[in-house]
Amino acid sequence: MISEIANELSKSLNNLTIGTTYLGIIIALRDIIASVIKIIERYNLRGKRVVVIYDDIDKYVGKHDQDALMAAANAIADKIVHEYIPRRLWVKVIFAVSDNAASRELDRLGSKGGYTPYLLWNLPKRAFREVVDEVVMKTGVKDVDFDLLWNLLGGNVRELGMIITGYNWNMKAWLQDRAINRVKETFRRHAESSGFGSVEKALAWLIEKGRVAARDYGLGEFTGQPDAVEGVLGLLENNIMIDISPPGVWRLSELPSEPWIGKDYAYQIPAYYWAIRAMVEAGKANVTPEDLLKIIQH
């Protein structure tokens, strides 16, 4: 029966029209749930627990209309409250997102439909070491510095794959492109839209703001600590940083005690922290991969 259900579900989903407009996105996401429910009832699966996962849904919706994600989630929450619960159907819907804007949109649901935010972090250090060891064994690459990888990636497997396949293990090139340049570009965009006028002026403002915050929060000397930076200058909006303490969040992962993770904010990958720290210490945005590596290895 399992294969029969899988085939019917696949056929049902293939017949859906996936929209690229605000309304189309809402209808598509809602109809996926409706298709699942029809199959539950047709095969008398009321006693089963059904979990529907929209993986990386923010990357799809973000290309079109971020508000559509909230509208779709709201429509699904309505169905859960008014249709599924009264009919005693056990259905959970997971929106897997990594974009701050998307998570904030979803937080507007409050507790509607049983909405609960969860935080799933990168791999813990031991598990990440196992992944790196397996990669080393299968690829035969030599002299891989695990401690450096941990300090750059913090367990982020996606960026590990980027270093391997996109940069052929060239850490300095990866640092320049994926960390330094991305932070500078984020500052540049924010400087243009907010009146700072230049990246250097925006950085100078951040250094002063960070010093005050670090002092007030008892963090010591300002070195780019996430709780002192607080995602300003577009760092949250551009996913350089993430809010790890939204209201009501449940943490599914144990966050490591590392300088790139604070109480309320964290850097998405440690390389961003080291890039900003190098800029703060140098007092300028034009830093090099060598500058970051010196700080890490100090």
pLDDT at 269: 97
pLDDT at 196: 92
Position with higher pLDDT, 141 vs 58: 141
Domain edge (last residue) among 62, 94, 116: 116
Least confident range from 74-78, 127-131, 151-155, 264-268: namely 74-78
Least confident range from 56-65, 186-195, 212-221, 242-251: namely 56-65
Please indicate, yes or no, whether residues 89 and 56 belong to a single structural domain of this protein.
Answer: yes
Please indicate, yes or no, whether residues 169 and 104 belong to a single structural domain of this protein.
Answer: no
Domain that holds residue 202: 125-246+254-297
Please indicate, yes or no, whether residues 286 and 200 belong to a single structural domain of this protein.
Answer: yes
Domain edge (last residue) among 82, 98, 116: 116
Least confident range from 49-53, 240-244, 276-280: namely 49-53
* C-alpha closest to that of 149 among 260, 269, 61: 269
Please indicate, yes or no, whether residues 24 and 133 belong to a single structural domain of this protein.
Answer: no
Does pLDDT of 46 surpass 80? no
Digit-coded pLDDT (tens) for 14-33: 666 655 566 676 777 777 77
Position with higher pLDDT, 174 vs 253: 174
Please indicate, yes or no, whether residues 144 and 77 belong to a single structural domain of this protein.
Answer: no
Contacts of 280 (CB under 8 A, 6+ apart): 203, 206, 207, 210, 222, 223, 224
pLDDT at 38: 79
pLDDT at 13: 64
Please indicate, yes or no, whether residues 132 and 99 belong to a single structural domain of this protein.
Answer: no
Please indicate, yes or no, whether residues 196 and 271 belong to a single structural domain of this protein.
Answer: yes
Does pLDDT of 65 surpass 70? no
Q: What is the pTM of this model?
A: 0.84
Does pLDDT of 250 surpass 90? no
> Which amino acid belongs to residue 162?
M
How far apart CA 149 and CA 129 sit, in angstroms, is 9
pLDDT at 144: 94
Contacts of 113 (CB under 8 A, 6+ apart): 76, 77, 78, 80, 81
Please indicate, yes or no, whether residues 203 and 279 belong to a single structural domain of this protein.
Answer: yes
Least confident range from 54-63, 182-191, 233-242: namely 54-63
Please indicate, yes or no, whether residues 112 and 131 belong to a single structural domain of this protein.
Answer: no
pLDDT mean across residues, the chain? 87
Domain edge (last residue) among 116, 141, 156: 116
Name the domain count of the chain: 2
High-pLDDT (> 70) share of the chain, %:
90
Cα 189 versus chain centre, distance: 20
Please indicate, yes or no, whether residues 100 and 162 belong to a single structural domain of this protein.
Answer: no
Please indicate, yes or no, whether residues 180 and 259 belong to a single structural domain of this protein.
Answer: yes
Please indicate, yes or no, whether residues 178 and 287 belong to a single structural domain of this protein.
Answer: yes
